[in-house]
Amino acid sequence: MPPLGSPSTTDPLSVPSSEGPAGLGSPYAGYVYSYPHKTAYRPLSPRPALRDVWHGQDLSALFLYLHIPFCEMRCGFCNLFTRTGAPQELVARYLDALERQARAVREALPGARFAVGAIGGGTPTYLEPAELERLFTIATDLMGADLAAIPLSVETSPATATPDRLAVLAAHGTTRVSIGVQSFDDTEARAAGRPQRRAEVETALAAIRDAAVPGLNIDLIYGIDGQTQASWAASIDAALAWRPEEMYLYPLYVRPLTGLGRRAVSPADWDADRLALYRSGRDRLLAAGYEQVSMRMFRRRPDAPHETGTDSGTAPDADIGVDTGYCCQRDGMVGLGCGARSYTADLHYSFDYAVGVSEVRGIIDEYVTLDQDAFSRAYFGYRLDPAEQRRRHLLTSLLQAEGLDAADYRARFGSDPAADFADELAWLADAGLLTETSDRIRLTAEGLAWSDAIGPRLFSPRTAALMDGHRAR
């Protein structure tokens, strides 16, 4: 029996097809990093008070996320909530608003304690060092997060990973810095709409290692116009020279309203090319001593081979605590900032979302005018009934290499996943994409390769319909 959901038409590549295992069509229907996707959110009416939203929730070990929606440039593939060229006056007003929001949220969740932290965007290191100091003060003094005692990840870029900014991150206990390199080949970087030079990338990586932050993650993208197996392997090897604790391999997507979204129709063999590049990249990292965590994420094993001359000497091989077993969508997340999302057990909520330049600027301009009382309510969101909570758990577990722990599922929901999702699991198993035992349900290696097709097909009809009804702007 086919899965209950359907590929979302919000992505131009999501074209149903009889090709692929089990008729999945394109292996790149959509990146499922949360459930439901933000395009399924709708205005909440009436707007619930945060105190009521979080009433009865476990506040003892939450995820704290702060969003900085500013970048020095917008990459051609980017559909994140961010704007470029923000003047210093706007950044100051944004931090003022972030402070008002933090006060409102802390009043609504007076007993909140945080187990994990992250600062993303945008590019958080777009902020000057003094502005970063203020951001950390908001997280510690207003939100009460002990950042020095919890895993803390911060995103950066080659242009903004400067020693003075990195010194602020290190001083406040940052355990992981993630840098979007995308390609070490200058021509490929330009083709992806990210004009940068390899020398700038290498300088940034050296600065990160010199800052002695325990964990380094490097993002690379495959499927770029003109990229070959040889150039892809060269980029991976260039990244491996820095012995990053983590690496993410992302397939290139061409989405509406992005710089690349204006280009001609994708080549007919693009899916096959991306699959081949994914498999070769995966195999290269596995051979280099990395373990696969998901389709995109790879983590260096403590016993990974060490090649003379490739290690900076500053990053320990020991576990840096990034992988805590914590899942923000199941265990709760408090998001601060325009573009941030928050998760409770039965409600995901955020502010409005857009990609287009004028729309993003309008939302940010409105955010910085809100008073503290306005920040005490949830504006946009999606309510999860018990069935959707089960589906969220299935998706967020199944798309990880370790899969779904059946005992944990039964403890959480009082039912068996094999019974709750019998049709979907049977369909995947029959296609050779999934294996089941009494205690674990996980995707096969081929199933992981098709994660971006499997995830959207497991969406509920309600979620798929809301996503299809989303107007990109």
Give the residue, 353 or 412, on which the prediction is more confident.
412
The confidence band for 58, taking pLDDT boundaries of 50, 70 and 90, is very high
The confidence band for 51, taking pLDDT boundaries of 50, 70 and 90, is very high
Considering the domain boundaries, does residue 314 fall inside one? Answer: no
Q: Is the pLDDT of residue 312 over 80?
A: no
- What integer pLDDT is reported at residue 7 of this predicted model? 36
Determine the Cα–Cα distance for residues 170 and 149; give it in Å rounded to an integer. 13
Question: If you average pLDDT over every residue of the chain, what do you get?
Answer: 86
Query: Do 194 and 247 fall within a single domain?
Result: yes
Q: How many domains, in total, are found in the chain?
A: 2
Query: Do 31 and 54 fall within a single domain?
Result: no
Query: Do 219 and 282 fall within a single domain?
Result: yes
- Give the residue from 245, 266, 300 where a domain finishes: 300
Q: Is the pLDDT of residue 282 over 90?
A: yes
Q: Is the pLDDT of residue 336 over 70?
A: yes
- What integer pLDDT is reported at residue 262 of this predicted model? 47
- What integer pLDDT is reported at residue 105 of this predicted model? 98
Q: Is the pLDDT of residue 454 over 50?
A: yes
Give the residue, 361 or 108, on which the prediction is more confident.
108
Query: Do 135 and 190 fall within a single domain?
Result: yes
Q: Is the pLDDT of residue 413 over 90?
A: yes
Q: Is the pLDDT of residue 154 over 50?
A: yes
Q: Are 291 and 285 in contact (CB under 8 A)?
A: no
Considering the domain boundaries, does residue 317 fall inside one? Answer: no
Query: Do 126 and 155 fall within a single domain?
Result: yes
Range scoring the smallest mean pLDDT among 169-173, 259-263, 341-345, 434-438:
259-263
Query: Do 91 and 170 fall within a single domain?
Result: yes
| Domain CATH number, residue 29 | 1.10.10.920
Considering the domain boundaries, does residue 154 fall inside one? Answer: yes
What mean pLDDT comes out for the span 200-206? 97
Considering the domain boundaries, does residue 378 fall inside one? Answer: no
The confidence band for 306, taking pLDDT boundaries of 50, 70 and 90, is low
Q: Is the pLDDT of residue 10 over 60?
A: no
Give the other-Cβ count within 10 Å of 85's Cβ: 11
Q: Is the pLDDT of residue 57 over 80?
A: yes
What mean pLDDT comes out for the span 186-196? 86
Considering the domain boundaries, does residue 237 fall inside one? Answer: yes
Q: Is the pLDDT of residue 372 over 90?
A: yes
Q: Is the pLDDT of residue 286 over 70?
A: yes
Query: Do 71 and 127 fall within a single domain?
Result: yes
Domain enclosing residue 59, as ranges: 50-300
Considering the domain boundaries, does residue 128 fall inside one? Answer: yes
Query: Do 139 and 10 fall within a single domain?
Result: no
Nearest to 104 by CA among 407, 379, 460, 465: 379
- Give the residue from 300, 334, 360 where a domain finishes: 300
Query: Do 158 and 231 fall within a single domain?
Result: yes
Give the residue, 272 or 261, on which the prediction is more confident.
272
Query: Do 28 and 150 fall within a single domain?
Result: no
> Is the bond leading into 316 cis (omega within 30 degrees of zero)?
no
The confidence band for 388, taking pLDDT boundaries of 50, 70 and 90, is very high
- What integer pLDDT is reported at residue 357 of this predicted model? 72
- What integer pLDDT is reported at residue 5 of this predicted model? 42
| Domain CATH number, residue 62 | 3.80.30.20
- What integer pLDDT is reported at residue 178 of this predicted model? 97
Considering the domain boundaries, does residue 380 fall inside one? Answer: no
Considering the domain boundaries, does residue 147 fall inside one? Answer: yes
What mean pLDDT comes out for the span 203-222? 97
- What integer pLDDT is reported at residue 327 of this predicted model? 65
Query: Do 18 and 60 fall within a single domain?
Result: no
- Give the residue from 300, 323, 355 where a domain finishes: 300
Structure tokens at 216: 């380094």
pLDDT in tens, 90-127: 999 999 999 999 999 999 999 999 999 999 988 999 99
Query: Do 141 and 97 fall within a single domain?
Result: yes
